[in-house]
Amino acid sequence: MDALYTVKTKYTYKEYRKFSYYCMWHSSRVILAICYIVMAALLIRGIINGNIISSCMAVAFFVVMPIFVEYTFKKAYTSKKSNSGEIVMRFYEAHIESEGAKSSTKVLYKNLYKIVETKTSFYVMMGNNMGFIVMKDDCPEGLIEFIRSIKKD
């Protein structure tokens, strides 16, 4: 059976980073919110009580956390073999196939978790923190509308 649409893409770090932030936020938002609220409370308490150690710990958290997250994303991006080459995605009537240098995946549309549209891409999600990135700039004519139609179903 021939694919309705075929798209070849190479994940850029910029897109991978946006995708990773999306996954992190949507899979851990309660934990992240609690951490930031606790650290903000610790900072406020330290300022009010004149406790320099509490204030410094909270400030360190707000400085170190984004650096750590960025380091983790960069390390994951460079270590994943699937990011090192071109990824070919084929869209069929009932499923999508993704093929990279080291792996291939076939997923029925009805088994997709969701499809998220951003300004530059689609995240075809198989779970709340796993999916494909389909770059809009790489899409052949008609594919963007096709993905949007899958999203609505």
Cα(136)–Cα(86) distance, rounded to whole angstroms?
Answer: 15
- The list of the chain residues with pLDDT below 70 reads 80-85, 152-153
CATH 3.30.465.10 fits 5-11+82-152, yes or no: no
Q: Where in the chain is the domain with CATH 2.30.29.30?
A: 5-11+82-152
Burial 49-69 (b: 16+ CB within 10 A, else e): eeeeebbeebeebeeeeeeee
Which run of H or E residues covers position 25?
A: helix 13-49
The per-residue pLDDT for range 40-84, each reduced to its tens digit, is 888 888 888 888 888 888 888 888 888 988 898 888 888 865 555
pTM of the model: 0.76
